[in-house]
Amino acid sequence: ITPMLQLVRAIMKDPNDKTTCSVLFANQTEKDILLKDELEEIQARYPDCFKLWFTVDRAPSGRCHVPRGEVYDRPCFYAPYRKRSLNPYVRVHAPIDWEYSQGFINADMIREHLPGPDDDNMVLICGPPPMIQFACNPNLDKLGYRQSQRFTF
């Protein structure tokens, strides 16, 4: 993230720079997100110029209880019911306060959180080579981003 953060800081400091930045930041867990507070502060300060989205392999979770007959409208993980339970599903683990994505970077995340493959857009990539090779580049290809629009740190 550090090479991208340097660019973001420089762009946001210049009131004459009309460049917009969108960051899709992948990590193992929420605790692994470097400089999360600073990135969120930049997003709050420059909402029209800076878009931020996280994805983690493992979202935060915690134990919770679902009373019989209760219906919840947010996604959660279920375990098969036990014979004596009237509730066909028991919620055993549910995401807690995680408003972003979970899983590897994919085409849907790119489509939803980054600008499209227009000629005036550039995609800057940094991360471990397997992530770039197996998650970023194939999905950028699928969405029509040209190699000339990509720069890897």
Could you tell me which residues are annotated as the binding site?
2
How many other CB atoms sit within 10 Å of the CB of residue 14? 10
Do 66 and 87 contact (CB within 8 A), yes or no? Answer: yes
**Could you give the count of Cα atoms lying within 13 Å of 56 in the half-sphere of its Cβ?**
16
Nearest to 120 by CA among 10, 31, 20, 28: 20
Instruction: Output the known binding site for FAD.
Output: 2
Dihedral sign for Cα atoms in the order 116, 122, 123, 129: positive
Q: Beta strand pairing status for 89-95 and 77-80?
A: antiparallel
- What's 34's DSSP letter? T
Sheet holding 77-80, edge to edge: 61-63, 89-95, 77-80
